[in-house]
Amino acid sequence: MKVLVINAGSSSLKYQIIDMDNEAVLAKGLCERIGIDGSKLTHKVPGKDDYVVETPMPSHKEAVSLVMEALLDADHGVLKSLDELSAIGHRVLHGGIEYTDSCLVTPEVKDVIRANFDLGPLHNPANLMGIEACEAAIPGKPNVAVFDTAFGMSMKPEAYMYAIPMEYYDKYKIRRYGFHGTSHKFVSGETIKFGQLPEGQRKVIVCHLGNGSSISASIDGKCVDTSMGLTPLEGLMMGTRSGDVDPAVVQFICNHDNKTVDEVLNILNKKSGVLGLSGLSSDFRDVKKAAGEGNERAAMASNAFIYRVAKTIGSYVAAMNGVDAIAFTAGIGENDVEYRGWICEYLTYLGIEIDKEANKKRGQNIMISTPDSKVKVFVIPTNEELAIARDTKEIVEG
Ligand code: AMP
């Protein structure tokens, strides 16, 4: 069974085709600059040179047609006919309160994606365009929507409600949703499997630490809490996002710098986090290097990130009344041996002991805690495309 996975952004479209018999990636690629000058498709097949097509893509429709041509191309393709495709799985950012799991796309599902444009203004419209482009290009094939918010839907009201007047929930469904859900679900599931966590000992904290960062707490793979909120701005400090701030900061900057709320929100989303504090870069490698060379602001930015991660882990231990395993994933979590070590230095009160040799490895499933550690600590590479393909397979097979 071959599944096409589509992740459509406002001006880009990423894809992978996965053979679900062995979960191998047959081809993957990216359409860039959709709707703007200089559109380009880069198609990659393992063991072959990249196939690049530079041609106008006024909309996602043309992008999907080009992807189909690349998949069928005599030299660079991996399919003889589109009939070989069993289904298409789509990453969809926001399923609102309606969807607690992935589902087959129907007109009602599209209505819900549309109804949630307000909550995912950058992503939901693009996600819907990707779905409609696939429906037009490959008619009759099942499309599956995999919502990034679905994982957070198992949170209880005490975790997801903001303590603001109830009318805002009733009118606008303002609540905490959480994001990176596909990654948290995948990594918590892999942690249980790889770590062979027995029943009753499946309290897992996943630290998805990348340019965007979030942490989740789950029991038996079901989310108890997660650090992002109504939008991905809440929670940890990130590459360019501030994470939690007192909302009064927004009013204060508006009043003192004569800015609009939108302008301040833009600062909190794009100019804050380690970039804002260090004044140097949003890339943790640059910030770490500068800190190592004696740059005090870079060191403070780096330390603030580590501190908040450790503090959030501690709060989730409290939320679950314990933790059995902690998993690191995404760009920093999978690759940055030092950040993992620094975060774990805060966690010795949990009886965590890190195996320094194991912690030198990167990019594969590994246990980095010692056999005596009271809590197991893992590195589990995330794979959102595979998670989407697995859900798609499960849904179309019924
Ligand atoms: P992501 O958003 O998951 O792609 O993660 C991006 C972040 O991961 C960047 O800030 C990088 O500093 C960090 N990162 C990516 N690759 C590496 C690596 N090989 N070693 C250390 N950090 C890395």
333 in contact with ligand 1, CB cutoff 6 A: no
Give the model's pLDDT for residue 398: 85
**3 state SS of 148:** coil
Instruction: Say whether pLDDT at 118 is over 90.
Output: no
Over pLDDT 90: what percentage of the chain? Answer: 97
Distance CA 202, CA 214 (A): 19
Mean pLDDT of 77-93: 96
Q: Compute the half-sphere exposure of residue 186: CA atoms within 13 Å on the CB side of its CA.
A: 25
Instruction: Say whether pLDDT at 362 is over 90.
Output: no
**3 state SS of 289:** helix
Distance CA 218, CA 184 (A): 9
Q: Any idea which residue has 């909190």 for tokens? A: 268
- Cβ-proximal residues to 3 (8 Å cutoff; 6+ apart), any chain: 17, 18, 20, 85, 86, 87, 88, 89, 389, 392, 393
Instruction: Say whether pLDDT at 32 is over 90.
Output: yes
For residue 239, give the ligand 1 atom closest to its CA: 10
Over pLDDT 70: what percentage of the chain? Answer: 100
Mean pLDDT of 184-198: 98
Token pair for 391 = 């859900």
**3 state SS of 25:** strand
Mean pLDDT of 138-156: 97
Reported pTM: 0.94
Give the model's pLDDT for residue 150: 96
Instruction: Say whether pLDDT at 88 is over 80.
Output: yes
Instruction: Say whether pLDDT at 202 is over 80.
Output: yes
**Comparing 18-27, 86-95, 98-107, 120-129, which segment has the lowest mean pLDDT?**
120-129
Mean pLDDT of 289-312: 98
Q: Are 214 and 226 in contact (CB under 8 A)?
A: yes
Nearest CA to ligand 1 atom 18: 335
Distance 28 CA to ligand 1 centre (A): 21
Mean pLDDT of 250-278: 97
Mean pLDDT of 350-354: 97
Which listed residue (148, 225, 324, 391) is catalytic?
148
Q: Are 209 and 330 in contact (CB under 8 A)?
A: yes
**3 state SS of 106:** coil
**3 state SS of 398:** coil
Distance CA 375, CA 323 (A): 7
- 395 vs 119, higher pLDDT: 395
Q: Are 62 and 52 in contact (CB under 8 A)?
A: no
Residue 295: burial class (beta carbons within 10 Å; 0-12, 13-18, 19+): middle
Q: Any idea which residue has 């589109």 for tokens? A: 82
Give the model's pLDDT for residue 351: 98
The DSSP annotation for 208-237 comes to EESSSEEEEEEETTEEEEES--SSTTSSS-
Instruction: Say whether pLDDT at 120 is over 90.
Output: no
Distance CA 43, CA 320 (A): 44
207 in contact with ligand 1, CB cutoff 6 A: no
Give the model's pLDDT for residue 332: 96
Question: What mean pLDDT is reported for the chain?
Answer: 96
Confidence of residue 363 (pLDDT cuts 50, 70, 90): confident
Instruction: Say whether pLDDT at 359 is over 90.
Output: yes
Best mutation site among 285, 309, 337, 379 for ligand 1 pocket (most ligand atoms within 8 Å of CB): 285
Give the model's pLDDT for residue 284: 96
Distance CA 240, CA 63 (A): 29
